[in-house]
Structure 1
Amino acid sequence: MKSLGWTVHGDGKRILPGEVVAPDERLSWPRTIGIGMQHVIAMFGATLLVPTITGFPVNTTLLFSGVGTILFLLITRNKLPSYLGSSFAFIAPLMATQTEGISVQIGGIMVAGLVLIALGLLVKAAGRAVLDAVMPPAVTGAIVALIGLNLAPTAASNFQTQPLVAAVTLFSILLATVAGRGMISRLGILIGVIIGWVFAAFYGAISPDAVAFIAESPWIGLPQFHTPQFQLSAILVTLPVIIVLVAENVGHVKAVSEMTGRNLDDKAGDALLADGLATTLAGGFGGSGTTTYAENIGVMAATRVYSTAAYWVAALTAVVLAFVPKFGALIFTIPSGVLGGATLVLYGLIGMLGIRIWQDNKVNFNNPVNLTAVAVALVAGIGNLTLSIGSVEMEGIAWGSMGIIIGYPILKSLYIKIGEGRHASF
């Protein structure tokens, strides 16, 4: 039975042993809405944490995560289930350009989105092989790792402002993530932030002015919109994030392919194009950049429901919540100690994601090209190497990313040319 683009699975009520609900199927609408709410819960903590850390409007970011997800579903023709939430990769460039103001920051996000659109079109035309040629695992892993580790001083600084609050938050996150099961484990950061916030309230770390701000905020209202400004230095700092977005989108396509038993490689270009459009739209109005969310893959694995109908429910829910200013005001009362405890874990996880890319792809660090190129890129990023070219100041993420993208193929060519690397594994 076909209804609104989805075939109703079985009787719409049950999933028999060994069965899954495919992307183009759905259960009954009450069950689909319930699963959609689970997707909202799964994406909520991470999507809201990014604007909380960077000072971006929470409601605006939430709005464009929902709108971006709708765009993604439309462009992939309801064949690739995914939620587009706030990308952690944007935190580093946004923190680096915080003094420039939100208009300059979203200008960088918008340009990154436009470049991602171009990459999506290129992949659609030439196939995924073009990505593997330009960004081998050694390069991709290094860029992802340095983006996360570049933020380490910010996490430590926030932790030091309220060490007891930060320690309670950190311990709660670790306990929920390691000892928790199912959804509790996947929502570890959100649970830790809530516990830290409650502890901070009793500890007196939340000011009366913050509480008054929540009380004075209306229940219904429009999100805050901003107009982008384009500044070369901010754009150059932001562009390396594209590497992360490409890796996450392509990885998402592969993961869903394995889970559903369908070859979705031909959707990689559509995924990049859709995420690029969503990021461009968010940057055009004041939201943070987006990416496909691994958190929601966990919901699909637990429920065996891969229906894109559930993602429409999640997206529309996010859009509705974006028009509740009181909700955004509540998020901004989170004290720096809580952020310190949460980001100590979060930024480290981003760094470890880069290392996992090396492990999964068996990158050979006995090869001097891999070893030296990655070593230089990481230190440039972690040490936040900052140099100016004329009036343009570039920081560690930009130098580390550009250095390895340009330097890696040159070093590899030289190594092979002199003969010693002719049969080496890269």
Structure 2
Amino acid sequence: MALTWTRVDSRTDPDFVVAPGERLSWPRTLGLGAQHVVAMFGATFLVPVLTGFPPATTLLFSGVGTILFLLITGNRLPSYLGSSFSVIAPVTAAVAAQGTGSALGGLVAVGVLLIIVGGIVQLAGTHWLDLTLPPVVTGAIVALIGFNLAPAAKTNFEAGPLVGIVTLVLLIVVLAFFRGMIGRLAIFLAVAAGYLLALILGDVDTSGIAAAPWIGLPQFQTPAFSLSVLPMFLPAVIALIAENIGHVKSVGQMTRTDLDPLMGRALAADGVATTLAGLGGGSATTTYAENIGVMAATRVYSTAAYWVAAAVAIGLSLCPKVGAVISAIPAGVLGGATVVLYGLVGILGVRIWLTNHVDFSQPINQMTAAVPLIIGIADFTWQAGNLTFTGIALGSIAALLIYHGMRVLGFRQGREAPTDGAPAADVSG
């Protein structure tokens, strides 16, 4: 694979796009790469802050993971791998139960499983995934992952309600009333404004920022593997599968190119990046809707811009001062942002249902969605020996058992089992 791109010049033609194998001039490409970093930055740095991971380490593996993704997909699929919100709940639970090492071990397991799924998809296609994880199931699991995090958002918000309200209102206003790059930077702008207000109010501990050097390596950590926490992480695999499949399909639609043959590679590449991050102390990675938005707005799908973005992210990760600034974000700001972001994760599950026209007049779809959502939102727990099943794991298991169980019963009674009549989910990270 040669890292070369065909130089093209921008035009005012409304149908003009820059394909993955093309690029604009290097100065413009550098600017676009920086845009991608800023677009993903707001959501990516929130994950390590919320889970207690070192932000600089997560940023480093985000950049390295993006490079690996581009290499594994043959430099044909533009994507930035930011931090996945789908692992916040299991990571938080694992850290509380057995420490950071066990959470990292869970992330390694997620990455390895994603590599296996990617390998199977590359060999056998996605039809088996469509049958195993139909949209009604995938949507329910993604939705309950987001709604399960509601108590965490409430706790952070109550720690600083004033800055939380300001951050929340600004985030809603920017998302609702602005399009283009300003809209894509909504998280970054709202958090920055909330952070500034907290500084004015004296709610930010700046001692760590002052003590941090300008140049240095991130803090690395090693994983510890515990069977008891692994069930917490399995639903995250399903969410990552949905996000990656949605990304491939979205980019394919925007570039009018059949990228489905790269589906297996994309899944495996995200698995490799997540595994590497777990081994070194970073968070799980995923494709990012914010970066799809930048591509849609600029009509530039060049992978060259993503190589630039990855290099910028790695460079920022080598500045401990940046990591210290991120780590000092007060809880109230996080609370205001996560009220929106966790809710949007939940709504992403609803979007899967709507996009794939899931028919909720069918009892099988009603039960597949209703029961898991209550289990996940209420955070049911079940102890089975050394294994602890939390609301997300139990809700995901319930979604699979209810859907496939009712289908089997429907066939046994000699009737055509009701279906949701839809293909795999089309969503993006």
Instruction: Confirm or deny a common fold (TM above 0.5).
Output: yes
> For the residues of structure 2 that align with 1:374 and 1:423, how far apart are their CA atoms?
14
User: Relative to structure 1, is the Cα distance of residues 15 and 276 closer, same or farther in structure 2, using a 3 angstrom cutoff?
Assistant: farther
Q: For 1:178-327, list aligned pairs within 5 A.
A: 178-206=176-204, 210-327=205-322
Q: Which amino acid aligns with 2:336?
A: G
Q: Deviations for 1:54-88, whole angstroms, at most 9, x for unmatched residues?
A: 11110100000000000000011111000001011
> For the residues of structure 2 that align with 1:133 and 1:424, how far apart are their CA atoms?
10
Residue in structure 2 matched with residue 146 of structure 1 by the alignment: 144
Gaps of 5+ in 2: 422-429
Query: Residue 334 of structure 1: which of 315, 329, 337 is its match?
Result: 329
Question: How far off is 1:29 after superposition?
Answer: 1.1
1:369 lines up with 2:367 in the alignment? no
> For the residues of structure 2 that align with 1:395 and 1:331, how far apart are their CA atoms?
29
Query: Residue 84 of structure 1: which of 81, 86, 89 is its match?
Result: 81
- Which stretch has the larger CA shift, 405-414 or 14-23? 14-23
- Which stretch has the larger CA shift, 161-170 or 346-355? 161-170
Do the aligned partners of 2:89 and 2:148 also contact (CA within 8 Å) in 1? yes
Query: Residue 72 of structure 1: which of 56, 60, 69 is its match?
Result: 69
User: Relative to structure 1, is the Cα distance of residues 15 and 312 closer, same or farther in structure 2, using a 3 angstrom cutoff?
Assistant: farther
Q: Deviations for 1:140-172, whole angstroms, at most 9, x for unmatched residues?
A: 000000000000011111111221111111111
1:40 lines up with 2:48 in the alignment? no
Q: Deviations for 1:68-112, whole angstroms, at most 9, x for unmatched residues?
A: 000000011111000001011111111222222211111000000
Tell me the matched-pair count.
Answer: 420
> For the residues of structure 1 that align with 2:18 and 2:143, how far apart are their CA atoms?
35
Query: Residue 416 of structure 1: which of 408, 411, 423 is its match?
Result: 411
- Secondary structure at 1:95's aligned position in 2? helix
> For the residues of structure 2 that align with 1:205 and 1:252, how far apart are their CA atoms?
39
Q: Deviations for 1:352-394, whole angstroms, at most 9, x for unmatched residues?
A: 0000000011111111111112211111111110110012221
Question: How far off is 1:15 after superposition?
Answer: 6.2
Do the aligned partners of 1:6 and 1:26 also contact (CA within 8 Å) in 2? no
> For the residues of structure 2 that align with 1:415 and 1:13, how far apart are their CA atoms?
57
Query: Residue 118 of structure 1: which of 113, 116, 119 is its match?
Result: 116
1:62 lines up with 2:59 in the alignment? yes
Query: Residue 162 of structure 1: which of 157, 160, 163 is its match?
Result: 160
- Which stretch has the larger CA shift, 349-358 or 40-49? 40-49
Question: How far off is 1:233 after superposition?
Answer: 2.4
Do the aligned partners of 2:407 and 2:418 also contact (CA within 8 Å) in 1? no
- Secondary structure at 2:27's aligned position in 1? helix
Question: How far off is 1:13 after superposition?
Answer: 5.4
Q: Deviations for 1:312-359, whole angstroms, at most 9, x for unmatched residues?
A: 000011111111001101111111111111110010000000000000
Do the aligned partners of 1:13 and 1:28 also contact (CA within 8 Å) in 2? no
Q: Which amino acid aligns with 2:201?
A: Y
Q: Deviations for 1:259-303, whole angstroms, at most 9, x for unmatched residues?
A: 111101111000000000000000001000000111111111111
Residue in structure 1 matched with residue 26 of structure 2 by the alignment: 29
Residue in structure 2 matched with residue 380 of structure 1 by the alignment: 375
Question: How far off is 1:16 after superposition?
Answer: 4.3
Q: Which amino acid aligns with 1:201?
A: L
Do the aligned partners of 2:372 and 2:395 also contact (CA within 8 Å) in 1? yes
What TM-score results when the alignment is normalised by the length of structure 2?
Answer: 0.95
> For the residues of structure 2 that align with 1:424 and 1:212, how far apart are their CA atoms?
58
Query: Residue 347 of structure 2: which of 325, 344, 352 is its match?
Result: 352
Q: Which amino acid aligns with 1:349?
A: L
Question: How far off is 1:204 after superposition?
Answer: 2.5
> For the residues of structure 2 that align with 1:54 and 1:285, how far apart are their CA atoms?
15
User: Relative to structure 1, is the Cα distance of residues 384 and 5 closer, same or farther in structure 2, using a 3 angstrom cutoff?
Assistant: same
- Secondary structure at 1:240's aligned position in 2? helix
Identity of aligned residues (%): 55
User: Relative to structure 1, is the Cα distance of residues 425 and 332 closer, same or farther in structure 2, using a 3 angstrom cutoff?
Assistant: closer
